[in-house]
Amino acid sequence: MPGPVRTVERLAWRAGRFTSGERVIAEETAVAFTYNGTTYAVMMATPQDLEDFAVGFTLTEGIVASPDEIESLEVLELDAGIELQMRLNETRAGALAARRRHLAGPTGCGLCGIESLTEAMRPLTPLAGDVSATPRDIMRAIGALSDLQVINQQTRAVHGAAFYRPGDDSLIMREDVGRHNALDKLCGALLRDNVSRQSGFAVVTSRLSIEMIQKAAMIGIPILVAVSAPTALAVRAAESAGMTLVAVARSDGFEVFTHPERIKEERSLHVVAG
């Protein structure tokens, strides 16, 4: 299996002269998702945390509603790339066969191949749970991001998606050349490890577009934080889904765009039982 980075020779022009040397760059591999023997999607991705990618993508795309509906998963390295072979239970396999969607997208392509406007703008189930976070929680999560982005430290070319839990200041991090892929990998990690989405919040290093909101909402993440800005459509989607959207989160602060009631000035993140 190829590693997530590769060292290559390069010729640099700086300070008025050429110098030879090396640079660590991010690896990119074609990753095919196959269900019950049929290829559904081909994405360009970082060849790491592929089991998380398989489960996260399958859930956030609505192919299954629970990881239990994936009966088997195998990662195969082929000459042309990597194949994630999954077998779905009979009910989900039948539903997928009736759903015509095939995509071959560039890096982290989020909505390539969607065949209808209705499918692209699918309504989101309102998010449940009474979870909140403080500004201190958000700033600590943003501050910890760069230290844990190991691949990005080497390449300066990949996105990160993380889940921050204030109770123990832990950060679950996944990286990928595609921002959607990084979020899918994080979603897969949370699902595979049975991490409660009410125990923290997600943080992404990219801008927030509609598909990022859709993916986070599909697995029940109620608070999503981004270092960049959201699109107007993403804000509308988050508002309708009951998601708290925090963006432009930098070392000097952040902006809350939807459902600000979850951001509490003097309380650590908590869950109210109901």
Active site residues: 109
Of 121, 161, 138, 142, whose CA–CA distance to 241 is shortest?
121
| CA angle (87, 88, 90) in 5-degree steps | 125
What lies within 8 Å, CB to CB, of 134 at 6+ separation is 166, 263, 264, 265, 266, 267, 268, 269
CA 96 to centroid of chain Cα atoms: 22
Is 31 within 8 Å of 81 (Cβ atoms)? yes
Strand ranges in 178-243 using DSSP code E only, listed in sequence order: 201-204, 223-226
Q: Could you tell me the two tokens for 153? A: 């430290």
User: First-to-last CA distance in the chain?
Assistant: 46
